[in-house]
Amino acid sequence: MAKTTAGIEENDPFASKDAVPVPPEDRAPGELRGAGARSPLFWKLMLVAMALIWGYSFLTMKTVLDTVPTFMLLACRFLLSAVIMFIIFHKRIKAHFNREYLGFGVLMGCVIWSAYAAQTLGLVDTTPGKNAFLTGTYCILVPFIALILFKERVTKWHIASALLCLVGVGFVALDNFSIQMGDLMTLVGAVFFAVDMAVVGHIGRTRDVSVLTSWMFLFVGLFSLAATTAFEPRVPAEQWTPEIIGQLVFLAVVCTTIGLLLQNQALSHVPPATGSLLLSLESPSGVLFSVLMAGEVLTGKLIFGFVLIFLSIVLSETHFSFLRKWFPKK
């Protein structure tokens, strides 16, 4: 797309007349500094660590869902995350307190709330491993969502990875040519995650992502609170055990807030292809934890489907460019 001299895309449906590019150091929502923090190796290790933690979070959510209903879980998770984000970024939020940022907060909140609601409802009726891999298909969908919304170009790599992913999803989700409701809801969640990634990637180029994310967390929490109040039964006080509360705090603080801060900082310190590849380890780690700690049984059909989905994600994000470094032409 054509760009103005200010760096703002022309014909941007989300552009404000007064919008100015936000420097990368202001858009990155973390404040981590220091020699060690600037090392690319450090940030690569952080991405691997977060991928493992997010993989483990599928098992944690599955455990919590045995006691806490879906929307109550999301309300606890995102309202606590919103409080933390508002404490950390209150100066930026105050500086950008206007209708534009509030509007984007509502928009992003609706989308990501739909994503997490569908994913979490799906997890009730499927295994953590399948939920992790089917959620990961959002990586394949992002370019096509960006094409529909913003007319961004889709490459042959995107098409090839989508076809490969589709075959993989068939092996994972289809059973006698029918699909389980839990798997279907997980795929719906993946579509909404892809919409969120495409929108955030587009509007975040000229806006403070930390402020947008803070509002997004708040509205996701409020939407979830309204849904659990209207549709879900209350959890008896005796079921709010220290274990359940600890797992909710883990999801809110470690997986959501710290995970977001580290991810955005890390992606500004490593090449995009490398970052995407390391983050894609979330799906196989989700399966690994589910097998080791929850006794999930893997069939040959599931393993083959997981491999195809993982390869499609790697193809979409890296185009297998790392192979040229490993096997240079003579």
Q: Which two tokens stand for residue 22?
A: 């936000």
SS3 per residue for 295-327:
CCCCCHHHHHHHHHHHHHHHHHHHCCCHHHHHC
pLDDT at 4: 35
Q: Which two tokens stand for residue 184?
A: 């279907």
Q: Which two tokens stand for residue 23?
A: 């420097």
SS3 call for 28: coil
CA separation for the pair 193, 44 (Å, rounded): 23
pLDDT at 222: 97
Closest listed residue to residue 118, CA positions, set 177, 48, 233, 195: 195
pLDDT at 32: 44
pLDDT at 259: 87
pLDDT at 10: 44
Buried b (16+ CB within 10 A) or exposed e, 252-291: bebbbbbbbbbbbbbbebbeeebbbbbbbbbbbbbbbbbe
pTM to 2 decimals? 0.78
Residue ranges, the chain, pLDDT below 70: 1-38, 177, 271-274, 276, 322-330
pLDDT at 177: 64
Distances (CA, A) of 278 to 44, 179, 281, 282: 7, 30, 6, 8
First to last CA, the chain: 37
pLDDT at 43: 85
pLDDT at 319: 76
pLDDT at 33: 44
CA separation for the pair 43, 32 (Å, rounded): 11
